[in-house]
Structure 1
Amino acid sequence: MAIGFHEQKEKRLLTLSFYVAGLFVFVALGFALITHSAAILFDGIYSLIAFFMALLTLKVANLVQKPDDDRFHFGYTAIEPTLNLFKSLIIIATCLYAIVGSIDSLMTGGNSAEFGLAIIYGAIATIGCFAVSSYMKYQGKNLRSDLVGVDAHTWFVDGVLSASILLGFCLAYFIEKTSFAGYAPFIDPLLLIVLGTAILPIPAKIMLESLNEVINKAPPEAVTLVIEKKLKQTLVAVPYEHVEVRISKSGRDLYILVHIIVAESFSVATISELDDIRISCETAMREWNPSILMDILFIKDPKLAG
């Protein structure tokens, strides 16, 4: 299968994410050692996870472009939601670990850090993460790639994390200059608790969406109704009593199994006429949504559609 423009663009975006994630690991861990900040260390660990996930994502991006074969009869696209599910679980586990560790730090007197240098890190990380997230989201908006979409979300989460760290360090820096300086060590762990809790809903949403795809759950009813309406518009020339539609999403592909329960007046002379209906229907549906893959069956007995 030849790699087209969209696939090449997807690989370029994921490669960019991989290299920038690697750079952020060194920057974050270096600043964590200098400033003794647990929040920056957490940000560095998050970047390290993003780095390894980006490596896996690149591998998966190559796999999902392959056609079906003897090992994977329906292609490799099911690997895509599986990877996104794995990534979301890793992020959730990291957040929970950070929250628990921060609570323990609060109980033992907090954590002192070099807030001046930490502010510099926070500014660099915030600008960098939001820039990568925005670039990937903008460049990937016309791609049928959940991999790029989840990666853009991951960078956005890292950007929120870095921005919150920056604000917290600014607050701690000024508190150190006041009579409330004794409270400054509590800022670092408090930041981690707030950040970890605030971030959790994002990977949790990705986890649920990916899990639905892994277990082959149908898309939301609002989505299926739109698809069914569009499908029936392509069948206006076909006399039928009912159309039974089953839909599942797997990564970038939207698979539709259609049972057309034909009316008594339905008649064809050759199998080629059925093929023409299938081709016409699928062409119209793919022009509307290129991610659609279809199988169409013509039946008379409604029980066969059950």
Structure 2
Amino acid sequence: MSLAFVALMHSFRWLEDDKYCYACGLYHWRRGQISMKTETRTLAFSAFMAFLIGCAGITATLASNSQAILLDGLFNLIYFSVALVTIKVSKLASRPDSESYPFGYSYFESLVNLCKGLLILGVSIFALVDAIVALLSGGREIAAGLAVIYALFATLACSLTAWVMHRSQRYTASPLIAADKLNWIVNSVISAAVLAAFCLVVLLEQLNLNTLVPYIDSVLVIAVVVLCLGVPVRMASQALKELLNKTPEEAIAAPVRDAISQALAETHTQEVRVRMVRPGRLLYVMVHVVLPDEGVTTSLTAQDELRARIDEQVRRCYAPVVCDVVFTADTLWAAPSCGLLIERHT
């Protein structure tokens, strides 16, 4: 997510490491603070726009009787409530670990994105069922003129918010903002489709094809839900995989493995096992390096030098990252489940 966490972790590490200067750490700390503020303000803007569009949608629904507008309004109001939690989580994710949360707060990001996906999915299914029932019962009359005005407002507002999310990603690599950006892009497409459909209603009324008008709203809701249903499913699925500690996609995992191999290229090893998970913005990498019993220097100083080399190489291809490197001469401790579920190697 936010480069705030990246810079903050870097500054803490660099202030403690004699290889880096204090001024460099201070620069990255300040950069992190700026990034954190950018993320918080961007998410606050997203929440405000969701609330504004949601209230406008509910108001327009009362006047136009459009279920498509009701869907849009409910969607944004629900998203507003989740956005308030998102802002809190973005601040938590930028903190270092604590006694209560020894692995940090990044899992909260995955949890929030899972909730977002499930909420959007639930509202979509509710709207789909309601639209099918309305379609089978003869459709519903809507006030097309007011609906067009709302749809135009929603399209412009959603497009503006998506653009702001996109601009913010230049300054903060936040998965929360990335999820919000995806939401607003989908919302923009939905609003544009609603606008086009309501313009079609006006056109049909002008052409005296009034028998088709009651069905436009229900057909529109069904089409929008079917076309966009994959978005919340993918969002929830990805977040669930992160919560279940699934290895991240190869686009992230492969460069990390290559970086570790490069860092250990000059070291004689018996076996190297790399495990990684990515909850939210943080990549956690566990490296077990099995060294031969003889012929290799295993002093603490030598091990720390290897750790620093591996950490440096991994950070070149991904950040923020926590990289734990464990050295052992027994493959038992590098095996799955630390060897507790398999027989001892001989």
CA distance in 1: counterparts of 2:183 and 2:175, whole angstroms: 12
Partner of 1:43: 72
Give how far 1:182 is off: 1.1
Q: Does 1:155 align with 2:178?
A: no
CA contact (8 A) 2:139 2:218 kept: yes
CA distance in 2: counterparts of 1:51 and 1:223, whole angstroms: 31
CA contact (8 A) 1:254 1:291 kept: yes
Partner of 1:63: 92
**Which of residues 123, 131, 134 is equivalent to 2:152?**
123
**Which of residues 227, 234, 246 is equivalent to 1:217?**
246
Q: Aligned to 2:206, what secondary structure does the other structure show?
A: coil
Q: Which amino acid aligns with 1:266?
A: V
CA distance in 2: counterparts of 1:207 and 1:138, whole angstroms: 25
Structure 1 residue ranges (4+ consecutive) displaced by more than 4 angstroms after TM superposition: none
Give how far 1:75 is off: 0.8
Give how far 1:236 is off: 2.2
CA distance in 1: counterparts of 2:34 and 2:126, whole angstroms: 41
CA distance in 1: counterparts of 2:195 and 2:58, whole angstroms: 16
Counterparts of 1:1-306 in structure 2, within 5 Å, are 4-263=33-292, 264-268=294-298, 270-306=299-335
CA contact (8 A) 2:186 2:228 kept: yes
Give how far 1:142 is off: 5.0
Q: Aligned to 1:240, what secondary structure does the other structure show?
A: coil
CA contact (8 A) 2:307 2:325 kept: yes
CA distance in 2: counterparts of 1:303 and 1:143, whole angstroms: 41
Give how far 1:237 is off: 2.8
CA contact (8 A) 1:119 1:170 kept: yes
CA distance in 1: counterparts of 2:173 and 2:281, whole angstroms: 5
Give how far 1:274 is off: 1.2
Q: Aligned to 1:296, what secondary structure does the other structure show?
A: strand
Give how far 1:85 is off: 0.3
Percent identical across equivalent pairs?
31
CA distance in 1: counterparts of 2:182 and 2:251, whole angstroms: 24
Consecutive unaligned residues of structure 2, counting only runs of 5 or more, are 1-7, 9-28, 336-346
Q: Aligned to 2:202, what secondary structure does the other structure show?
A: helix
Give how far 1:141 is off: 4.5
CA distance in 2: counterparts of 1:127 and 1:36, whole angstroms: 22
CA distance in 2: counterparts of 1:196 and 1:55, whole angstroms: 25
CA distance in 2: counterparts of 1:131 and 1:154, whole angstroms: 13
TM-score (norm 1): 0.95
Give how far 1:55 is off: 0.6
Give how far 1:285 is off: 1.7
Give how far 1:8 is off: 1.5
CA contact (8 A) 1:46 1:158 kept: no
CA distance in 1: counterparts of 2:307 and 2:334, whole angstroms: 17
Consecutive unaligned residues of structure 1, counting only runs of 5 or more, are none
Q: Deviations over 1:144-176 (max 9, x none)?
A: 321111111111121111111011101111111
Give how far 1:233 is off: 1.0
CA distance in 1: counterparts of 2:319 and 2:80, whole angstroms: 31
CA contact (8 A) 1:144 1:291 kept: no
Deviates more, 1:243-252 or 1:174-183: 174-183
Give how far 1:179 is off: 3.6
CA distance in 2: counterparts of 1:286 and 1:4, whole angstroms: 20
CA distance in 1: counterparts of 2:285 and 2:71, whole angstroms: 43
